[in-house]
Amino acid sequence: MKSTSSIHAKRIGDTEPGELIRIKIVDEFLLGIVLSNDDGRYIVGTLDPISNEVQYQVHISLSKDQRCISYGVDWLIEPILTDASWPAHSRFNWTPGALFLSNDEYSTVFRHHASSCDHGEILYDLSNSVLLERFPDGAAPITAWKIWASQRDYTHPGAQPLFEVTDVKIFAD
C-alpha cells in the first residue's frame, strides 16, 4: 500500500522549524507553522484564528509531547497580488495575516498569545525558517495568498489549497 500524501503523525518535539502542521487546540483543529524549538520550547504560529478568542495569527507554546499531523517543510505559498502589494507600502507592517515580500523571500507576523511564554510579536522568515529581529526594508505586503501542501497539489487540476487568506484586516492593539 502506498499513500497519495506525504503527511505524518508525530509529536511536536519531533518537528523542525518551518514545518507545516495541523494541531488540536481545545476543540479546534488549526493549521500552523513550527517557528522554534529552542531550549525545549516549541513555539507554533497559528494560521487559523482561534475562535471566540483571537481573530488573527498568534504564536503559542506547546508541549513537546503534543501530537500533530505534519505536512513537512516542502509546502508552497501562492501569493496573490492586490492594490496593496507594492514595495515599501508600510500600512500593513506588523499586521498578522499579511505576507511581506523582500527580494524573493517571504515573512509574516504572529502576535503574542497568553500561552506563548515571553515572546512579544514574532516576525518569521518563511523562506529560511528563522525568526527575524527586524522588519525587512522595503518589503511589499501580500494581503491575499494560499498555502498548498505540495507542488503536486498546486499543479493538480481541481485541487484545493490547505489554507487561504483573501483580505487581511488591520487590527488595533
Confidence of residue 84 (pLDDT cuts 50, 70, 90): confident
Q: Are residues 85 and 133 in the same domain?
A: yes
For residue 82, give its domain range: 76-108+128-165
Query: Does one domain contain both 15 and 86?
Result: no
Mean pLDDT for 164-169 is: 83
Query: Which secondary structure element, helix H or strand E, spans residue 72, and what is its range?
Result: strand 67-72
The pLDDT of residue 52:
61
Instruction: Please tell me the total count of domains within the chain.
Output: 2
Among 45-49, 60-64, 90-94, 138-142, the least confident range: 90-94
Q: Which residue has the cell 507592517?
A: 93
Both 80 and 50 in one domain: the answer is: no
Residue 17 within a domain: yes
Q: Which residue has the higher pLDDT, 102 or 51?
A: 102
Reported as a single tens digit per residue, the pLDDT across 4-48 is 677 999 999 999 999 999 999 888 899 999 999 877 779 999 998
Which residue, 21, 39, 42, is CA-closest to 31? 21
- Are 91 and 151 part of one and the same domain? yes
56 shares a domain with 26: yes
Residues 113-143 pLDDT 10s: 665 556 678 999 999 999 998 888 899 999 9
Is 90 found in the same domain as 63?
Answer: no
pLDDT at 115: 57
pLDDT at 159 (0 to 100): 92
Between CA 173 and CA 168 the distance in angstroms is: 15
Q: What is the mean pLDDT of the chain?
A: 87
**Does one domain contain both 88 and 62?**
no
Note whether 43 and 90 are same-domain residues. no
65 and 86 co-located in one domain: no
- Which amino acid is present at 9? A
The pLDDT value given to residue 1: 63
Q: Is the pTM of this model over 0.95?
A: no
CATH of the domain at 63: 2.30.30
Q: Is residue 16 part of a domain?
A: yes
